[in-house]
Amino acid sequence: MNRTLTLSTTARNDSDAFLPQTEERLPFTIRVVKDEGALAKAVRIRQAAYGRYVPELAKTLGAPESYDAEPGAVVLLAESKMDGEAIGTMRIQTNAVSRLGVERSVLLPDWLQQQRLSEATRLGVSEGRVGHVAKIALFKAYYQYCLETGVEWMITAARSPLDRQYEALMFQDVFPGQGFIPMLHIGNIPHRVMAFDVASARKRWEQGGHRLFDFMVRTHHPDIDIRDHGGRLADDQVTTREARPVHIAA
């Protein structure tokens, strides 16, 4: 992967204004799905990835889900530069318009109520090293998306052993001591509900000497593009929040 030195042009505060960054090219691109062809690719890699771990669930993932088209949701797609093959996908949903998917199964605690939230779901990547790098890059795209759209907390419901990956990224338990909770909206499969404070991420990663700090913060990846073809963020049009529905308690 090629690297060149540049300066940050996406500073989030004054201390970041001249943060030295290394530009790095990836062997794939990450973009927001904008058409049926790209969505079909995302669905195929999603189903293939789930098929390796939860084959029964994977059988139901052969077509786009209603969540893919909900207001406030976007689907990311990682595609190989060499042949255009899909190597990873993730869906991001915010609560700007409606409640998150996880809220169909649990009642979030008070400290998350009235916050701008997002949830990452349907993460799936190809096998091998490229798939591993794509997974990390998809999380970076998710983090950047949250920064740019004013999301305060990332929420995820992760099954074992994927929960360890989020724990390593410094996600915290939303329900400490409760462990894995059956998710009513995901076939009662037990998941660990976790949250991540977006605003403090850079400081926590830096102070903790996190191994991904340079990749996440000090490296510019032009191949990660979370904007639509008009140069706007995909959910720029989402400016209002509807009344929140009644929650379903776990």
C-alpha to C-alpha distance for 36 and 146, rounded to whole angstroms: 24
For residue 19, the model assigns a pLDDT of: 59
- Tell whether the torsion through CA atoms of 66, 156, 148 and 245 is positive or negative: positive
Residue 44 located in a structural domain? yes
- Per-residue pLDDT band for 144 (boundaries 50, 70, 90) equals very high
Residue 232 located in a structural domain? no
CATH number of the domain where residue 87 is located = 3.40.630.30
Residue 10 located in a structural domain? no
Exposure string of 40-65, with b = 16+ CB inside 10 Å and e = fewer, is ebbbbbbbbbbeeeeeeebeebeebb
Residue 21 located in a structural domain? yes
* Cβ within 8 Å of residue 153, ≥6 positions away: 112, 115, 116, 117, 118, 195, 196, 197, 198
* Average pLDDT for 16-25: 71
Q: How far apart are the first and last CA of the chain?
A: 45
Residue 235 located in a structural domain? no
For residue 160, the model assigns a pLDDT of: 85
Q: Contact, 13 vs 62, CB < 8 A?
A: no
Percent of the chain at pLDDT > 90 equals: 66
C-alpha to C-alpha distance for 124 and 76, rounded to whole angstroms: 11
For residue 198, the model assigns a pLDDT of: 96
- Per-residue pLDDT band for 3 (boundaries 50, 70, 90) equals low
pLDDT at 18 over 80: no
Start-end of H helices in the chain: 36-51, 55-58, 129-149, 163-168, 201-207, 213-217
For residue 237, the model assigns a pLDDT of: 42
Residue 149 located in a structural domain? yes
Question: Residue 31: CA atoms inside 13 Å, Cβ hemisphere, count?
Answer: 19
For residue 215, the model assigns a pLDDT of: 95
Q: Give the tens place of pLDDT for each residue, 40-93.
A: 999 999 999 989 988 988 899 999 999 899 888 999 999 999 999 999 999 999
For residue 179, the model assigns a pLDDT of: 85
Top pLDDT among 161 and 108 is at 108
Say if strands 224-225 and 28-32 run parallel, antiparallel, or are unpaired: parallel
Q: Contact, 196 vs 154, CB < 8 A?
A: yes
pLDDT at 9 over 50: no
Q: Domain total for the chain?
A: 1
- Per-residue pLDDT band for 220 (boundaries 50, 70, 90) equals very high
C-alpha to C-alpha distance for 64 and 105, rounded to whole angstroms: 21
Residue 249 located in a structural domain? no
- Written as one letter, the residue type at 201 is A
Residues constituting the chain: 250
For residue 234, the model assigns a pLDDT of: 65
* Cβ within 8 Å of residue 227, ≥6 positions away: 32, 233, 234
- Tell whether the torsion through CA atoms of 182, 126, 37 and 35 is positive or negative: positive
Q: Give the tens place of pLDDT for each residue, 156-202.
A: 998 888 889 899 999 999 999 888 988 887 778 899 999 999 999 99
Residue 85 located in a structural domain? yes
* Average pLDDT for 2-29: 62
Residue-number span of the structural domain to which 161 is assigned: 16-225
